[in-house]
Structures are given as C-alpha cells and as structure tokens.
A and B are shown apart, each in its own frame.
Chain A
Amino acid sequence: MTDSAVKNFFFPKITKRYLLRVAVVAITAFIIFKFVFIPFCIQGESMAPTYVTGSFNFCFTMRYLFSRPVQPDVVLVRMAGQDVMLLKRVVATEGQSVEFKEGRLFVDGKKINEPYVSGKSDWNVPLTVVKPGHVYVVGDNRSMPAKGHAFGQTSLKRIAGTPLW
C-alpha cells in the first residue's frame, strides 16, 4: 500500500459520494444492530457455566420468525422492553408437564438428560403444565437456590430471539 493510499483511507476527500456512502453504512448498521442482531452483555450467573457474567453476545431476533422455540434452545425473554432481557433455556413447550425432583428435571414424567447443567441441585418444584402459547424456561445454573432463580413459563410473545453463539 502506498503512502497516498493509506492517506486516502484514513483522510478521504469529503465528496458527496463519500458522504452518501457513510450515510448508507450508518443507516444499515443502525437497522442491523437495532432490530436484527441486538448486542447485549450478560450480567448474572443464572446461565453459568454455558454463559458467564461479563460475556458479550448478540440477540438474533429473526430466529423464531417462522418457527417456535423448542428444547433445549437458549432464548432471550423480553421484560418491559429490549434493554434488559432474561437469558434462559427452554425445557418444555405448550401442553407439556414440568417438574423438578431433587434437582432432576422431568418433562411429561420422563427424566431429561441435561449435559449443560453442572453442579449439584436440590430443586423441588411441583408439577406444572405449560399453557398454550407459552414455553417453560429455566437457567442452567441449578446449584443456586430455586428461590433466587428466575424461571417459569412465559408467553411466546416475550421471546425476543436467541443468542448468536
């Protein structure tokens, strides 16, 4: 790369064409990162060890445009808006029954193998049937007390998307 090329790259001539290009890139980036790949930072340990606090990711909002979340998808649950969302794993879908016995997850009475869960758990949650249009979500970190862990069924309308990785 010659000196002039480097200079042109860092200090381009401000022409109409250049300004138009900058505007197109800015608008495209705004649309993509505002509506399609929403950046977020993870705070909290409820999805540990799969997702740890402080890590960065994107919420892919188009993931459930033509399908519904199924087990064991990781989803983002919208609260009042999209600024703060809950990161949880889908463990059951509508019509299924969910139960925790001594830390083990049972869906429709069958014990579910959960390789993403590490650490001992003593959760006991009575049987619940997932309502129509809802999914049952729970975090991977079951070693924390069930009382301090946000989990349960949520409306599909609240599912904002899925983490990109």
Chain B
Amino acid sequence: MVTKKYLTVVLILVASGVIILLLSVDWEARAVKKQLHSLAKEMTWTPNENELEFALRVRHVQEKIAQTCQVDIPSYNVSQTVLQKDIPAYLSIARSYYRNLSVDLRDLKIESIRVPQAHGIATAYVKATDAYGQRNDQALALEFNLQKIEKKWVITEAKEMQVLEK
C-alpha cells in the first residue's frame, strides 16, 4: 500500500517535470536555430563533391532563403540583395573560388522572436581554402533576420556585426 502511494507520488513528480520541461522549451526558437545550423551545414563542401550533391545542396540552401535576402558581409566584400533564383549562380561562383569550405555556427542565440519574425546572432567560424590552396579562415559575428512563411523559417537578412572597426 505504502509502495503504491510512493510510486504514485514519484509518477506525478516525473510527469510534472516532463510537462514543465515541454512547456519551458521555446519550440519556435529551436526551429530557427535548427534552420540556421542546417544552412551552415549546407554551406560546406569539398573538392570531391559531385554535381548531383551540389545540385541537392543548392536546392536545400534555396529552401532556407527568402525570395529576396539582404546580405551584408564586408569581410567577403558582399553587400547586396540576393534573389532566391540566383542562389545556384552565387554558389557556383563561391565553389569555383573556394576549393573547400566549411561553416560552423557558434554562440547561436535567438535574441527576439515574435512569429512571423525572428532575430538571431551567431559567430560563424569559416574554414576555407581558395583555388590556389591558400587558407582563409575567419570568424565572423553575424546577425540574422528570419521570417516564418508557410510554417518554415526563411532568412530575410544576414548581416555582419562590426566587432573591430578599422
């Protein structure tokens, strides 16, 4: 009888813990983070990548970018509005310029989220080797603006934050 009582109390405690945990998780923020990490993963390539893999990656990147996306990354001399349909061309240029590239997002933090808008910051650790074999690793502080369109978070703006002002 006593054991049954204790078991019930333990079960109630565990159930309340799980409910509190589920309620305290910000699922939208998690979705935004997942989308950004996934984009960073798609921005990774090696010289061994074949055309099929490249095409697939381009499609995945396109799915994560809004119809028009403002990109301002002075470290890479990029400051322009990127159209979703132009992404294959931009990625082809980037792939011909950088033999291999990998992007890792660290310190990713969703600063504000009010559906359908979200704002996040992260440090992008970019490891790259150009066509001449020269390493060009950089850490960039980036901020992102995202919008939820048809249940999917897409990036509307990516901007480099100025950490060191020359």
B8 CB, nearest partner CB in chain A, Å: 25
Whether the pair B165, A80 counts as a contact (CB closer than 8 A) is no
Please report the C-alpha to C-alpha distance between residue A79 and residue B137 in the assembled complex, in whole angstroms: 15
- B163 contacts which chain A residues (CB < 8 A)? 77-79, 86, 150, 154, 158
Number of interface residues of B (CB under 8 A): 19
Q: B166 contacts which of A44, A82, A86, A152 (Cβ < 8 Å)?
A: A152
Whether the pair B165, A153 counts as a contact (CB closer than 8 A) is yes
Whether the pair B123, A83 counts as a contact (CB closer than 8 A) is yes
Please report the C-alpha to C-alpha distance between residue A117 and residue B123 in the assembled complex, in whole angstroms: 28
Other than A79-B141, A80-B142, A84-B106, give 19 A-B pairs with Cβ distance below 8 A. A44-B137, A77-B164, A78-B163, A80-B107, A80-B108, A80-B123, A81-B106, A81-B107, A83-B107, A84-B107, A84-B123, A86-B163, A125-B166, A128-B166, A148-B136, A151-B164, A151-B166, A152-B165, A153-B164
Please report the C-alpha to C-alpha distance between residue A137 and residue B121 in the assembled complex, in whole angstroms: 23
- A81 contacts which chain B residues (CB < 8 A)? 106-107, 109, 121, 123
Residue of chain A at shortest CB distance from B164: A152
- A43 contacts which chain B residues (CB < 8 A)? 137
Whether the pair A79, B123 counts as a contact (CB closer than 8 A) is yes
A109 CB, nearest partner CB in chain B, Å: 20
Please report the C-alpha to C-alpha distance between residue A44 and residue B139 in the assembled complex, in whole angstroms: 11
Whether the pair B164, A80 counts as a contact (CB closer than 8 A) is no
Interface of B is mostly: strand
Produce 1/0 per residue, B130-147, CB < 8 A to A: 000000110111100000
B residues whose Cβ falls under 8 Å from a Cβ of A: 106-109, 121-123, 125, 136-137, 139-142, 161, 163-166
Which residues of A from 68 to 108 have beta carbons under 8 Å from B? 77-84, 86
Closest 8 CB pairs of A and B: A81-B107, A152-B164, A83-B106, A79-B141, A152-B166, A80-B123, A79-B123, A84-B123
Please report the C-alpha to C-alpha distance between residue A137 and residue B109 in the assembled complex, in whole angstroms: 26
A residues whose Cβ falls under 8 Å from a Cβ of B: 43-44, 77-84, 86, 125, 128, 134, 137, 148, 150-154, 158
- A84 contacts which chain B residues (CB < 8 A)? 106-107, 123, 125, 139
Residue of chain A at shortest CB distance from B136: A148
Please report the C-alpha to C-alpha distance between residue A79 and residue B108 in the assembled complex, in whole angstroms: 11
